[in-house]
A and B are shown apart, each in its own frame.
Chain A
């Protein structure tokens, strides 16, 4: 099956574009980004803090298959319901520098919508390292998590 998610990473650029069309009305797509219980389900992360407003901040936590906890945090620079979220993203206790994320939400039809994520990294090398993380870590974690959630939905 073809993947619906597109990733554009041009050589020697310190940015990345992730584009995805959803078979969901815009409002529901946006809701999935602001309701902690819903984020928890699809991202597989615990939401420790999420202030959906300009100058707000957020912090998520994941537990890997070894039981280690990893935290992520950032600041929300811009928040316009059903339009955009601009925020920073940082992995705690890692050498990765903070990254800047522009999330754009678009209505396509009454029942479809599109999400454009534009991420800017500190350097080209930082971007490339981030891109190779899932390769290096394998997809075990994501697969397990997906499995768990699908089981619950049955």
Chain B
């Protein structure tokens, strides 16, 4: 019996997070993904398999190649998937604020 997988298991591992990072930018073949790591192809395949079982990655047949891409629907299930986006901008804007306050006091 296959273990029940969930998204949190998927993102718990650093290699799997790195795979998600790569695939977030564009759909990739398993060999293109593996090229980015020092681990064996087999290890990377295992991680891809887990991500697919969690439905974070989806397969797409393109000619003879299989491409993997992120499943946005699944990403949404991760509590507040927008939060990192908001935090990123919040940090940038905090930055802007402190730089401009300093700018003002220097004048």
Are A28 and B82 closer than 8 Å at their CB atoms?
no
Q: A4-B93, A139-B88 are in contact. Are A24 and B24 (CB under 8 A)?
A: no
Are A28 and B86 closer than 8 Å at their CB atoms?
no
Nearest B residue to A9, CB-CB: B82
B residues less than 8 Å from A125 (CB atoms): 72
B residues less than 8 Å from A108 (CB atoms): none
Q: How far is the CB of B47 from chain A (nearest CB, A)?
A: 15
Main secondary structure of the interface of A (DSSP, over half): helix
Q: Contact residue range for chain A?
A: 35 or more
Number of interface residues of B (CB under 8 A): 36
Beyond A24-B100, A31-B103, A42-B95, 19 additional contacts (C-beta under 8 Å) are A3-B87, A5-B90, A5-B93, A18-B89, A22-B96, A24-B97, A28-B104, A32-B100, A38-B99, A41-B95, A42-B96, A94-B26, A132-B75, A134-B85, A135-B85, A136-B17, A136-B24, A139-B84, A150-B98
Q: List 15 A-B contacts (CB under 8 A).
A: A3-B86, A4-B93, A5-B90, A18-B89, A22-B93, A24-B100, A32-B99, A94-B25, A128-B72, A135-B78, A136-B20, A138-B84, A139-B87, A146-B95, A149-B95
- Contact surface of A with B, Cβ cutoff 8 Å: 3-7, 9, 18, 20, 22-25, 28-29, 31-32, 38, 41-43, 94-95, 115, 125, 128-129, 131-139, 142-143, 146, 149-150, 153
